Each structure stands twice: as structure tokens, then as C-alpha cells.
């Protein structure tokens, strides 16, 4: 629906303005900068709740639409809209950011490099990432999407490189170079798409309007040489594959996740990287349906390799934070697999998986971060017997770990099950290979828990304190959401399913008809 009030503009502008105000506060107002950032993030959450309540799953595909001229001579406009898939990820973002701010409340000490304003910078950069992610999710103009898709790298680079571990500078540069290279390839594809629209009879002039291009592609009015469309598809797909990340473009993720503060690592893995998988679902499939179908076997193969690779490498890790980072590579493989099998179960499962992965990874990574901050070591062998001295920490760590391995009754199980069912209906062999991750994930999670939390208390662990109220305030909502969405995912799926159906209809990919072997009749 079209509304007179620009809710989507307010949604992304609030955190951006909040970031600017936070960074401009006097250096002496460190506590005020924290509280202001938290209040801003809660306001964003409140607006998101308002949008979710007023969103009609049975209504128009894109709701709360805003459309204004930006650069008419270049075929681009300020066009925003929200569908069910974007709403799910916006909601994830709005829920996690306040929790991440609370989790990182005491993570930052003033450093000379920031002129005594480290706290201001850290909280302002987090809000900036939130605003840019939201903008990229609600944009319906391809150039506008690209601008924010690239811009979010800058605050994330400073969050990694300005704070965190001893190797943060190297990890930040690696993160930036990988993603900037992917973005440059995508820029060439964005320009190429504009050129082919300008040369087509389907449009009066070149355009970046996503809805117009998709409508022309779906109706058959926009016909381009398949080789050209394949190249454009690969340009978009490469950038999204780096951002997601898809194996073998994942090499930047483990270092960035380990060297960043736990809250910044979760911001990157659970929120920012979802823009990559979202881009695949929205742009790669709907702009280039024939190319997506042509490259589907290759992408599915890479996704399955990523699923198995991430799980196997996680088993061999001695660093608890690096182990959790590699589990995300495996989970992103599941998300990408579900997207490209192009079935309703697969894509609904993938979208729900984006949300559930964000919740489970946030819980597991943050709790691990709380533990590491107490002990001062990321090595798994440094721990043992933690459940005897910190039972609440160990218990919430176990629930989060069980969610990560997709235990029935917890949220990721539903999404992973849907992805595997959707895959099996079209590619049963790939589904079988992907299913091996169910066993492998049990190995790396339960073995990690056994070594760290059970057994006798090792030297140095006897003074580990349990979760404090501030940390419980972070963890409790995540555990609650993992349980609620595991038992009753219907509200989320009711929003997601119509958008998935529209995507599959647009790309003309009906679900496969089940084949039943004929048996003897009586």
C-alpha cells in the first residue's frame, strides 16, 4: 500500500541521525552516548513493530511505498517499499541491534587513536550499520541499493579495525578488500543493466527501477542476449557471494569475526551478511531468472560444499570464536541452497533461516564472548568444568548450541527442515549430501560443550563468575525467541510465504510435482 507518511524513510534515517548526534556529543559524555544510542535503537524497534502490525501479508507485494524523483536523467529514483522477505530481515535487525549495544556496553575503552571518543565512535558506527542495512533492504531502486550495499562496508571496517583483538587491522583490511572487489564487479553489472534497459524497446529510457525491470522481464517484453544477461547475473551474484559468504569466497569471515568485538562480529554475521543472501533472492532471481536457472546447478554445488566444509573445519578448530565463525559458513550454505533450488519450501525455509541463524549465532557468539572476557583466552582447551562455577552461562550456552545444530523444538530446526524438504523435491542427491551436516553439527557443538563446560574445573576457571543482569538481559530475549519460533513459526511464515510465492511466480518456477512409483494393484 501507499502511505502519506514516509515510514520507511524514518526507519532508516533515525539510526543515521542518531549516529551523527552520538559522534558529536562532547567526549566527556561517554555514558550519555551509550544511552542515546540505545534509545535510538529502541525507537527503530518500535517503528519496526508498527510496520509489522500494519503489514498485510495478503495485500500488495510492496507496502509502505515511497517514490520520488532523484536523478531523472539517469533513470534512478528514491523508491522504497517493504515486502514480507525484507520485513523479516528488518525485524531481525531491529531486534538484535539494541541487544548488541547492551552486550558491548563495556567492551570499548578510550583509545588515543579516537581522541578519547572511542565509546562515541563505537556506538555511532553500530547505528550507522543498522541504518544502511535497513536502507538496502527497503530500496526498490537498484542504484540506491548499490550505494548503501557498498557504504555499509565503511562503518563495519572501522568497527573491526578500530576495536577488538590484536590482529584487527589485518582482518579489517582483508574484510574491506574482499567486499570492495565484489562491489566493483557488481558496479560494472549495475551499469551494464542500465545500458541494456536504455537500449530496449520495453522502456522509454534507461532505468534502475527494480519493479519496472522485473515486470518487463516477467512479461517477456525485456529480451536481451542470454550471454549478456549471464554476465550481468554473475556480476551481481559474485558480490552477493562474497558478502554472504558462499564457499570459496569466505576467507575473510573467520578472521573478521574473531578479531572484532563479539557484538561487532554478530552485527556483521547475523545482520550485514544477510544483505548478500537477500540480494540473491531479490535481485539475482527476479532480474535474471533464466541466468539463475542456468547457473543453478553450479551454485547449489558450491552451497553444499560450503555446508559440509564449514562443518568439518569447525570440528577441527581449537579457538571457540573461530569455531562458531565456521559454523556460519555452513549455515549460509543452507540459506543459499534453499534460495537456488527454487521451491516454495526451500525459499521460505531460507528466509526463515536468515532470521533464525541471526538469533542462534547472536546467542552463541555473545555468550562465548562473555566467557572469553572472563577467562582471557579463546582456546577451547583452556576451559573445563565451567557449568559448575557458572551454571546459567553454561545452560544458555548449551541451549544456543543446540539451536545451532538445529535441535527439534528450537527455531533453526524448522528452517533447516524446510530447506532440506525443498531441496529433496528437486535435487534429492544434493539434499542427502547437505543432510550430513546434521551429524557434523552435532559433533562440533556437543564436543565443544563437553570440553568447555563439563568435567572437573580446570585451573584458572574456578573464579569465572556467572552471567550478570546486563548479560542476562541480552541473552534471555534471544533464548525466548529461539524457543517461540521453534514451537510456533506460523506468524513469521505467514509473512514470508506470500512474498516467496510472488518470487517463484515472477521467475516462472512452480514447485515440482511429486512422482509416485506405481505399485501392484489389487
pTM: 0.90
**CB count in 10 Å sphere of residue 283:** 27
Coil vs helix vs strand at 141? strand
Specify the long-range contacts of residues 20-26, CB closer than 8 Å, at least 24 apart: 20/124, 22/120, 22/123, 22/124, 22/127, 23/117, 23/120, 23/121, 23/124, 25/120
> Is 481 within the bounds of a domain?
yes
> Is 133 within the bounds of a domain?
no
Q: What is the pLDDT of residue 3?
A: 56
Q: How many structural domains is the chain composed of?
A: 1
CA–CA gap between residue 412 and residue 485 (Å, rounded): 8
Q: What is the pLDDT of residue 109?
A: 65
> Is 258 within the bounds of a domain?
no
CA–CA gap between residue 148 and residue 66 (Å, rounded): 17
> Is 40 within the bounds of a domain?
no
What sign does the dihedral 410-430-422-90 (CA atoms) show?
positive
Under a CB-based contact definition with an 8 Å cutoff, are residues 300 and 433 in contact?
Answer: no
Q: What is the pLDDT of residue 114?
A: 54
The grid coordinates of residue 426 equal 528437486
Under a CB-based contact definition with an 8 Å cutoff, are residues 84 and 138 in contact?
Answer: no
The grid coordinates of residue 138 equal 527497503
> Is 488 within the bounds of a domain?
yes
> Is 115 within the bounds of a domain?
no
- In order along its 522 residues, the chain shows pLDDT tens digits of 445 789 999 999 999 999 999 988 887 788 888 899 999 999 999 999 999 999 998 888 899 999 888 888 787 889 999 999 999 999 999 999 999 999 988 877 644 455 566 888 889 999 999 999 999 999 999 999 999 999 999 999 998 988 877 788 888 898 899 999 999 999 999 999 988 888 777 778 878 889 989 888 888 888 888 899 999 999 999 999 999 888 888 888 888 888 888 899 999 989 998 999 999 999 999 999 999 999 999 999 999 999 999 999 999 888 888 999 999 899 999 999 999 998 999 999 999 999 999 999 999 999 999 998 888 888 888 888 888 888 999 999 999 999 988 889 999 999 999 999 999 988 899 999 998 888 898 898 999 999 888 888 888 888 888 889 999 999 999 999 999 999 999 999 999 999 999 888 888 778 787 665 455 554
Under a CB-based contact definition with an 8 Å cutoff, are residues 142 and 208 in contact?
Answer: yes
Under a CB-based contact definition with an 8 Å cutoff, are residues 346 and 419 in contact?
Answer: yes
**CB count in 10 Å sphere of residue 273:** 25
Q: What is the pLDDT of residue 2?
A: 45
> Is 340 within the bounds of a domain?
yes
CA–CA gap between residue 323 and residue 268 (Å, rounded): 16
Under a CB-based contact definition with an 8 Å cutoff, are residues 124 and 23 in contact?
Answer: yes
> Is 80 within the bounds of a domain?
no
By residue range, what is the domain housing residue 449? 288-510
Under a CB-based contact definition with an 8 Å cutoff, are residues 157 and 268 in contact?
Answer: no
Q: What is the pLDDT of residue 522?
A: 47
What's the distance, Cα to Cα, between the start and end of the chain in Å? 56
Q: What is the pLDDT of residue 515?
A: 62
Degrees, nearest 5: CA angle 268-95-111: 50
Q: What is the pLDDT of residue 112?
A: 41
Amino acid at each position: 500500500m501507499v502511505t502519506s507518511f514516509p515510514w520507511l524513510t524514518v526507519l532508516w534515517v533515525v539510526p543515521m541521525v542518531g549516529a551523527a548526534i552520538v559522534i558529536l556529543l562532547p567526549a566527556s559524555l561517554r555514558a550519555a552516548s551509550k544511552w542515546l544510542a540505545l534509545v535510538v535503537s529502541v525507537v527503530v524497534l518500535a517503528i519496526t513493530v508498527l510496520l509489522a502490525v500494519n503489514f498485510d501479508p495478503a495485500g500488495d507485494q510492496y507496502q509502505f511505498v515511497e517514490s520520488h524523483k532523484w536523478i531523472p536523467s539517469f533513470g534512478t529514483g528514491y523508491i522504497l517499499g517493504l515486502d514480507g522477505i525484507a520485513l523479516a530481515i528488518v525485524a531481525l535487525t531491529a531486534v538484535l541491534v539494541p541487544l548488541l549495544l547492551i552486550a558491548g556496553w563495556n567492551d570499548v575503552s578510550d583509545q588515543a587513536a579516537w581522541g578519547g571518543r572511542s565509546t562515541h565512535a563505537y556506538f555511532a558506527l553500530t547505528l550507522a550499520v543498522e541504518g544502511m542495512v535497513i536502507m538496502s533492504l527497503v530500496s526498490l531502486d537498484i542504484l540506491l541499493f548499490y550505494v548503501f550495499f557498498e557504504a555499509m562496508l565503511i562503518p563495519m571496517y572501522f568497527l573491526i579495525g578500530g576495536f577488538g583483538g590484536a590482529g584487527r587491522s589485518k582482518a579489517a583490511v582483508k574484510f574491506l578488500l574482499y567486499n570492495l572487489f565484489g562491489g566493483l564487479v557488481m558496479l560494472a553489472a549495475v551499469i551494464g543493466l542500465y545500458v541494456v534497459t536504455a537500449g530496449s524497446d520495453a522502456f522509454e529510457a534507461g532505468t534502475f527501477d527494480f519493479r519496472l525491470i522485473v515486470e518487463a522481464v516477467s512479461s517477456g517484453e525485456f529480451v536481451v542476449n542470454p550471454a549478456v544477461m549471464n554476465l550481468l547475473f554473475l556480476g551481481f551474484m559474485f558480490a552477493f557471494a562474497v558478502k554472504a559468504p558462499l564457499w570459496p569466497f569466505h576467507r575473510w569471515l573467520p578472521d573478521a569475526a574473531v578479531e572484532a568485538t563479539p557484538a561487532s562480529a554478530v552485527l556483521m554475521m547475523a545482520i550485514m551478511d544477510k544483505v548478500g543472501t537477500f540480494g540473491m533472492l531479490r535481485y539475482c532471481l527476479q532480474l535474471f531468472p533464466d541466468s539463475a536457472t542456468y547457473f543453478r546447478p553450479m551454485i547449489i554445488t558450491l552451497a553444499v560444499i560450503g555446508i559440509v566444509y564449514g562443518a568439518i573445519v569447525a570440528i577441527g578448530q581449537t579457538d571457540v570464536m573461530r569455531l562458531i565463525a565456521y559454523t556460519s559458513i555452513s549455515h549460509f550454505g543452507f540459506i543459499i541452497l534453499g534460495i537456488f533450488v527454487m521451491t516454495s519450501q526451500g525459499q521460505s525455509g531460507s528466509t526463515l533461516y536468515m532470521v533464525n541463524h541471526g538469533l542462534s549465532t547472536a546467542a552463541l557468539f555473545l555468550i562465548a564472548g562473555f566467557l572469553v572476557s572472563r577467562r582471557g583466552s579463546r582456546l577451547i582447551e583452556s576451559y573445563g568444568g565451567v557449568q559448575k562455577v557458572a551454571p546459567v552461562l553454561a545452560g544458555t550456552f548449551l541451549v544456543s548450541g543446540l539451536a545451532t545444530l538445529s535441535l527439534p523444538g528450537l527455531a533453526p530446526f524448522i528452517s533447516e527442515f524446510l530447506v532440506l524438504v525443498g531441496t529433496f523435491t528437486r535435487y534429492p542427491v544434493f539434499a542427502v549430501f547437505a543432510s550430513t551436516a546434521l551429524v557434523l553439527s552435532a559433533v562440533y557443538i556437543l564436543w565443544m560443550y563437553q570440553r568447555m563446560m563439563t568435567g572437573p574445573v580446570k585451573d584458572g576457571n574456578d573464579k569465572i563468575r556467572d552471567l550478570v543482569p546486563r548479560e542476562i538481559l541480552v541473552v534471555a530475549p534471544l533464548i525466548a525467541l529461539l524457543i517461540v519460533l521453534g514451537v510456533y513459526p506460523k506468524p513469521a511464515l505467514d509473512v514470508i510465504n506470500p512474498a516467496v510465492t510472488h518470487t517463484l511466480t515472477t521467475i516462472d518456477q512452480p514447485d515440482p510435482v511429486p512422482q509416485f512409483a506405481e505399485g501392484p494393484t489389487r
